Amino acid sequence: MILRPQDRWPLGAVAFVLAVSAAWWSFALFAVPGAPDWLDRARAVCFNITESGLPDAKGWLLLIGQPPAMLLALYAGWSRQVRDTVQHFARSPGGRRLAAGTGLAIVAFLAIAAAQAASLRVPAPTLASGVGLNGNEPLPETYPRLDRPWPRTDGLVDQRGDAFALESLGGRRAFVTFAFGHCATICPIVVRNSLAARRAVEAQGRTGSDTAATDIAVVVLTLDPWRDTPSRLSALAARYGLDPARDFMVGGAPEAVTAALDAFRMASQRDTRTGDIVHPPLVYVVERDGALAYGTTGATGHLVQLAGRLR
């Protein structure tokens, strides 16, 4: 195949469009371990990343529409040059082979992207433990109380940079759960369910007499203090949708966080190669005096029921 001088510009433009499209899709679907917080925020804002780690409908529209829009703009501005180059390549065996190879590369990339999207998708009906996300089934009256005292949380800080301790709750009841910023599966679901349970308890309280019982703080303690550093806690709190006036995204030095996790009896294991944290879904339902009254997997309905049993 003979590459003519007039072919270089259209080919370069097409290569640029393909490269930008590949980078665009990679940025949307592949989170970078240890990426700075501003990059995670940019990714979430650009593509409206949901709790599953995937873009929402508008994000997908942007991803799917960007490549053809750029190609159409190229053709609209330089249609004669593009048509001439396409015809030249169509007449050349080498040009046809190049076009076929490019098509195969595009198909392979789309297959990788589809596999990544499938790996990020969280099954809607159940959590990893098999417990329903909604928790509509009634809990037995014999559901066990823990009645464990509030553990020591020395050295922890919240998203505002303040020291975090039992006194930070101000005598309020609380849902205490555990998550980490790079988690795209269980963590966002459990935090979302905790917030949804609070809203449901508040709705019930508006028709009852004990409105103070609906004032529940949501506390999220990071499982990954190595990456969820104190400077990132504010962004994580915003990402999870925590109320800045009454909720807490909590972290600190790795030694302090690890000690607190042990004190809460939160089992987790860090993969030192990937940085991912393997952990069960867990939410503590906490009394006003800080006692850990109940432990649950974080189904919304179960949290609502257990909150109604607090003293």
Dump pLDDT digits (tens) for 84-130: 888 877 888 887 888 888 888 888 988 887 877 766 544 433 333 33
CATH assignment of the domain containing 226 = 3.40.30.10
Residue 167 sits in the same domain as residue 80: no
Q: Determine contact, residues 311/210, Cβ cutoff 8 Å.
A: no
How many folded domains does the chain comprise? 2
Residue type, 27: F
Residue 160 sits in the same domain as residue 114: no
Collapsing DSSP to helix, strand or coil, 128 comes out as: coil
Rounded-to-10 torsion of CA 38, 40, 46, 52 = -160
Residue 254 sits in the same domain as residue 179: yes
Which residue range is the domain that position 210 belongs to? 156-307
* Last-in-domain residue among 93, 120, 147: 120
Task: Count other Cβ atoms within 10 Å, centred on residue 67.
Answer: 17
Q: Determine contact, residues 292/146, Cβ cutoff 8 Å.
A: yes
pLDDT of residue 69: 87
- How far is it, in rounded angstroms, from Cα 262 to Cα 31? 29
Collapsing DSSP to helix, strand or coil, 296 comes out as: strand
- How far is it, in rounded angstroms, from Cα 206 to Cα 214? 9
* Last-in-domain residue among 72, 98, 120: 120
Residue 164 sits in the same domain as residue 300: yes
Task: Tell me the backbone φ, ψ of residue 179, rounded to 5 degrees.
Answer: -160, 170
Short-list 39, 36, 49, CA closest to 231: 36
Residue 162 sits in the same domain as residue 115: no
Residue 172 sits in the same domain as residue 284: yes
Residue 151 belongs to a domain: no
Which pair of tokens denotes residue 304?
A: 């609502």
The conformational region for residue 27 under phi > 0 = left, psi -120 to 50 = alpha, else beta, is alpha
Residue 238 belongs to a domain: yes
pLDDT of residue 169: 96
Per-residue DSSP letter, 169: G
Length of the chain: 311
pLDDT of residue 38: 62
- How far is it, in rounded angstroms, from Cα 139 to Cα 73? 59
Residue 132 belongs to a domain: no
- How far is it, in rounded angstroms, from Cα 211 to Cα 205? 5
* Torsion sign (Cα): 77, 79, 80, 83: positive
- How far is it, in rounded angstroms, from Cα 193 to Cα 205? 18
Asked whether the whole model's pTM tops 0.85, one would answer no
Q: Are strands 216-222 and 248-252 parallel, antiparallel or unpaired?
A: parallel
pLDDT of residue 176: 98
- How far is it, in rounded angstroms, from Cα 54 to Cα 30? 10
Beta bridge partners of 284: 176, 295
Residue 210 sits in the same domain as residue 297: yes
Residue 74 sits in the same domain as residue 214: no
**Measured CA distances, 223 to 4, 85, 120, 242, 295 (Å):** 58, 55, 20, 17, 17
Residue 303 sits in the same domain as residue 161: yes
Residue 139 belongs to a domain: no
Residue 177 belongs to a domain: yes
Residue 92 sits in the same domain as residue 210: no
- How far is it, in rounded angstroms, from Cα 31 to Cα 39? 9
Element housing 193 (H / E): helix 186-205
Residues 6 or more apart whose Cβ sits within 8 Å of residue 77: none
pLDDT of residue 164: 97
**Measured CA distances, 224 to 44, 92, 203 (Å):** 20, 56, 34
Residue 147 belongs to a domain: no
pLDDT of residue 207: 52
Residue 266 belongs to a domain: yes
Weakly modelled stretches of the chain, pLDDT under 50: 51, 121-133, 209
Residue 293 sits in the same domain as residue 160: yes
* Last-in-domain residue among 120, 144, 171: 120
pLDDT of residue 130: 36
Residue 91 belongs to a domain: yes
Residue 292 sits in the same domain as residue 165: yes
